[in-house]
Structure 1
Amino acid sequence: MTLQTRIEAFSKLGISLQNYVDSNDSSSNFSQKLTNVIRNAELQNAWFTQDQIHSALQEWTKALTKENLSNWLQAYTIEEFSKKRVAVVMAGNIPLVGFHDFLSVLITGHHFVGKLSSNDSLLIPFLAEELIAMQPEFKSKIEFTKDRLPEFDAVIATGSNNTARYFEYYFKDKPHIIRKNRNSIVVLDGTESKEELEKLGDDIFKYFGLGCRNVSKLFVPQDYDFDDFFKAMFNYKDIINHHKYANNYDYNKAVYLMSSVKLLDNGFLILKEDEQFSSPIGVLFYENYSNKAQLKQRLEKEKENIQCIVGKDKFADANFGQAQHPKLSDYADGVDTIKFLIQKDK
């Protein structure tokens, strides 16, 4: 199977997803099966609402075009050398979060061995089945497990900082990518328009804030007035109607109030001044800055903890509203997955 054949197969999958997202036509066999999988995924994991899953699918319909796939891969020399069995330990914090690794392993011609997260064990296997239906040669290249990993030559593992230490020990003798906790931030200067702040709401609330590209912390100037910020967030007030989000919001608020922590609160989002980057669900940390040059230096020192910087500054990675719309070349933790996969054994 050539690289072009693999690109064409994934682009066909993208077309099927696009047709589903555009029309949500339940008459086709593909649509009926996908609709059922989405319903079951929500039953399995209440964070995976149908709207959130549709958002994730929409992102992949944009990415899985022949043009995008070809442009992404043209920067690499992908040879048809001896292929490896690549184990991928998948996260399950947001829908289809492991699909980029699934795509990367297969598009480079390797054998994919996926260890599924219990939080997201339905969506990617379904897409794998559809990919095989479009290109049967993939059947021998795809393997899933919920238990111990079978034999493998290299590994990509995503988890918390605690599990990363375990991964680094367990996989020390294999070529590996080990991903840890990262969070995204936004730098505001007080000149943001209403439209920009409303777009920021998508960076904060999409996927309930569970993704590493979700903004979990604000950096604001001294004496920043949060009124405009809270007014812009009002568009997302219905998030409190989701029971799991509401439970987390209520719990965190109660803990802070019992500890007499000073808070800003609008009824569905808590702002707490804190130097940490990783905030709980329903909470955003914020910190004041007085000098952008000094802030830039600090963020450079903290780059191992930051996935994405949102804002208008030159050192930002994404504009407002774009944090959850990464390109194929926006690799998690800044580690080039394709480069890792195509390197030859020394």
Structure 2
Amino acid sequence: MTIAEHKSHLIVLGKFLGQFGIKESEKAENIPGNERFFNEMDHKIDQAVHYNGWFTRENVIFSLQQWSEALSPENLDKWLNRYDFSNKGGKTVGIVMAGNIPLVGFHDFISVLVSGHKVQVKLSGNDKQLLPLIADFLMQLDNRYEEQIQFTEERLNNFDAVIATGSNNTARYFEYYFRDKPSIIRKNRNSVAVLTGKESKDELARLGDDIFRYYGLGCRNVSKLYVPQDYDFKDFFEAIYEWNPIIHRDKYANNYDYNKAVYLMSEYKILENGFLMLKEDESFGSPIATLFYEFYKDEEELRKNLSENEEKLQCVVKKNPGEKEIGFGKTQKPELWDYADNVDTIEFLLKL
């Protein structure tokens, strides 16, 4: 299959995914396979929400809409035109997927396909409803995908390379188990935001998206703030208040209550607004419903600190972002060329 054919199929897939809405889905005309797959996809979205208490329809639809926007002709050209696909591929690449947010392994999945390799997918039990149907949709667009795509509930076998995502603990297992294969092993990462005190209300509101989308479960979610000395959190709390309904979600509320009790019993000083707690802490990874913060005195010293901890960070969010930083409200809207852990997946696959 040529790269042009892969692009054309992904463009159609993007249009297919863009049909689904939070309250109502709108069936578009002239999408191949829509008669078969439209209602089934709507059903699978509901199933995904049923099987994973952290998946709401709003968050699943948000993920589908982001992928729909990403799979545009312009984005696909910008992503793929920089590579030489003359290598015919033909290897089998195993993917061990995480299940913390909807379709979290989808980028790896399409990267393997466009690189001309076969993909063997081991899904997380927390997110196993959507991708098999998407794979079926691609297969009806072009039956050659049937030879490229395989799902397994057992251990990966007969593979040439692997991409595995998990915690720091599971990464140690992955590194040992896949030690004889070319691999990308992803560990825990966190994202931080740097505030100066000069942010507008709109910028702070968009930061709320970076914090609360997917309940903060993704590595791209902001889990810590760096703020200047004597920073007043009043404007921050006011700007993010639109997210207050999140406390009515049982799993989030349970974490809020539990962590608040732990902090109070431990006599930690916290700031809170009824749905988010702020705790001063040097760590990067905060518990659900908690945001760590740390004061800084010197911006240059802070840049040095973040640079030294680059391998622990996925995103650095700030006003007027630099080359390796991003603006407020964009952490959960990555571009196709924004690679996890800054490891170029396509480059890795083309070298196999």
Coarse TM-score class (shorter-chain normalised): over 0.9
| Cα drift, residue 288 of structure 1 | 0.1
Letter in 1 for 2:339: Y
Tell me how far apart the structure 1 counterparts of residues 135 and 198 of structure 2 sit (CA, whole Å).
46
Deviation beyond 4 Å, 4+ runs, structure 1: none
Tell me how far apart the structure 2 counterparts of residues 314 and 210 of structure 1 sit (CA, whole Å).
23
Provide the secondary structure at the position in 2 that maps to 1:127: helix
Letter in 2 for 1:343: K
Residues 1:232 and 2:233 are matched in the alignment: no
CA contact (8 A) 2:49 2:57 kept: yes
| Cα drift, residue 16 of structure 1 | 1.3
Unpaired stretches in structure 1, ≥5 consecutive residues: none
- 2:215 is aligned to 208
Number of matched residues? 344
Unpaired stretches in structure 2, ≥5 consecutive residues: 28-33
Letter in 2 for 1:294: E
Match of 2:178 among 160, 164, 171: 171
Residue deviations 1:250-275, cap 9 Å, x none? 11101111111100010000000000
Tell me how far apart the structure 2 counterparts of residues 73 and 248 of structure 1 sit (CA, whole Å).
41
| Cα drift, residue 3 of structure 1 | 1.3
Tell me how far apart the structure 2 counterparts of residues 188 and 97 of structure 1 sit (CA, whole Å).
28
Residue deviations 1:307-339, cap 9 Å, x none? 000001544621111111111010000100000
Tell me how far apart the structure 2 counterparts of residues 256 and 20 of structure 1 sit (CA, whole Å).
41
Residues 1:92 and 2:99 are matched in the alignment: yes
- 1:319 is aligned to 327
Q: Which runs of structure 2 are paired with 1:179-194 in the superposition (5 Å)?
A: 179-194=186-201
Identity across matched positions, percent: 54
Residues 1:40 and 2:36 are matched in the alignment: no
Residues 1:245 and 2:252 are matched in the alignment: yes
Residues 1:20 and 2:20 are matched in the alignment: yes
| Cα drift, residue 19 of structure 1 | 3.1
Residues 1:275 and 2:282 are matched in the alignment: yes
Q: Structure 1 length normalisation: TM-score?
A: 0.97
Match of 1:111 among 85, 99, 118: 118
Residue deviations 1:126-170, cap 9 Å, x none? 111111111111011000112211210000000001111111111
| Cα drift, residue 66 of structure 1 | 2.4
CA contact (8 A) 1:24 1:31 kept: no
Tell me how far apart the structure 2 counterparts of residues 261 and 281 of structure 1 sit (CA, whole Å).
17
CA, structure 1 residues 15+314, in 2 after alignment: closer, same or farther (shift >3 Å)? closer
Letter in 2 for 1:112: V
Q: Which runs of structure 2 are paired with 1:78-157 in the superposition (5 Å)?
A: 78-157=85-164
| Cα drift, residue 303 of structure 1 | 0.3
| Cα drift, residue 67 of structure 1 | 2.4
Residue deviations 1:78-119, cap 9 Å, x none? 124241000000010000000000010001110000010010
CA contact (8 A) 2:194 2:317 kept: yes
Match of 2:350 among 333, 342, 346: 342
CA contact (8 A) 2:20 2:42 kept: no
Residues 1:333 and 2:341 are matched in the alignment: yes
Letter in 2 for 1:295: L
- The RMSD of aligned alpha carbons is 1.4
| Cα drift, residue 28 of structure 1 | 4.7
Provide the secondary structure at the position in 2 that maps to 1:172: coil
Provide the secondary structure at the position in 2 that maps to 1:56: helix
Residues 1:295 and 2:314 are matched in the alignment: no
Tell me how far apart the structure 1 counterparts of residues 26 and 127 of structure 2 sit (CA, whole Å).
24
- 2:3 is aligned to 3
CA contact (8 A) 2:89 2:350 kept: no
Tell me how far apart the structure 2 counterparts of residues 21 and 8 of structure 1 sit (CA, whole Å).
24
Q: Structure 2 length normalisation: TM-score?
A: 0.95
Match of 2:59 among 27, 52, 55: 52
CA contact (8 A) 2:89 2:116 kept: no
Provide the secondary structure at the position in 1 that maps to 2:19: helix
- 29-38 vs 45-54, greater mean Cα deviation: 29-38
Tell me how far apart the structure 1 counterparts of residues 139 and 36 of structure 2 sit (CA, whole Å).
15
Tell me how far apart the structure 2 counterparts of residues 110 and 163 of structure 1 sit (CA, whole Å).
25
